[in-house]
Structure 1
Amino acid sequence: MASRTLEIEKMSVEQLKALKEQADLEVNLLQDSLNNIRTATTRLEIASNALQDLSLRPQGKKMLVPLTASLYVPGTLDDADKVLVDVGTGYFVEKTMTEGKDYCERKINLLKSNYEQLLDVATKKKSVADETGLILQAKLRQLAQAQ
């Protein structure tokens, strides 16, 4: 880390500005990715909870079935052991209830692992951006004092 600071301190003001802009852009992109992973994880957790709730309901149970986030239609539970799992890009796969729950748990664990790795990268990139900003400010103050 100390060698990185020495390299950054040797840069010109223009180079520092470019490095700071690039690091800020990367931090923003990483933050967007982290938000997307968080959203996907939340959706999978909701789906997993819905599967758990569905598995406890008896066959023939009357219920409301969501068509959209705000539109529900009445329905009757036919077979709670078979579920359709959205595997992406409009493809659905029929699975047993246990397989559906397992699929959700595996995806949640994968997303959480990716989130942790991405968070580590984002933290390091944010550190570079902050460090570059401080050095840039110091150089700009030196230039202002020299004039």
Structure 2
Amino acid sequence: MASKGTVELERMSVEQLKALKEQTDLEVNLLQDSLNNIRTATARLDIASSALHNLSLRPHGKPMLVPLTASLYVPGTLDDADKVLVDVGTGYFIEKTMAEGKDYCERKIKLLKSNYDQLVEIATKKKNMADEAGVTLQAKLRQLSPTPQ
């Protein structure tokens, strides 16, 4: 038995089906990009959380390399590991305690994972819609094409 969505697809013209397929494919690609961005952000927060944990284990006055950029480190010493600066985005930093910094990272990771799960569900639905439109389009094109003799 055909579902309501399939019946609606069968009523569409070839041009409408092509447009629907292109639109849903574009939306799936955009959702995939968003999923990749969320994965990247989650990985960065995992690294930051791990760095905070490692920093809390170091004794005061211990020499260490301080990252200024991804590839530039300068020598320094650990003065106060109880206070950290947390990057909250767009160039803003907030001073927090070590525990608050760890909590911030964990909350952000939890939020990103929740958003990721929601986007996966939406992307799956859009992909199924694109696949159904493609199958229906192929069937209509086969019906319209003259049969070889």
Q: Tell me if TM exceeds 0.5.
A: yes
Q: How does 1:1-147 map to 2 (within 5 A)?
A: 2-145=3-146
**Structure 2 residue identity aligned to 1:20:** K
Q: Which runs of 5+ in 1 are unaligned?
A: none
SS at match of 2:146: helix
Percent of aligned positions that are identical: 79
SS in 1 for 2:74: strand
TM-score by length of 1: 0.97
Q: Distance in 2 between matches of 1:66 and 1:19?
A: 48
Name segments (4+ residues, structure 1) moved above 6 Å: none
Write the distance in 2 (CA, Å) between the matches of 1:130 and 1:145.
25
Deviation at 1:142, TM superposition (A): 1.2
Letter paired with 1:21: E
SS in 2 for 1:145: coil
CA distance in 2 between counterparts of 1:27 and 1:133 reads 14
Deviations 1:20-59 (A, max 9, x none): 0110010011111111111100000000000000000000
Q: How many residues align?
A: 147
Q: Take 2:52 and 2:95, find their aligned partners in 1: how far apart are those partners?
A: 13
Structure 1, residues 42-95: CA drift from partner, whole Å, max 9, x if none?
000000000000000000011111111111111100000000000111110000
The root-mean-square deviation of aligned C-alpha atoms, in Å, is 1.2
Distance 1:108 1:58 in 2: 28
**1:8, distance to aligned residue in structure 2 (A):** 0.4
* 1:145 CA displacement: 3.3
Q: CA deviation at 1:138?
A: 1.0
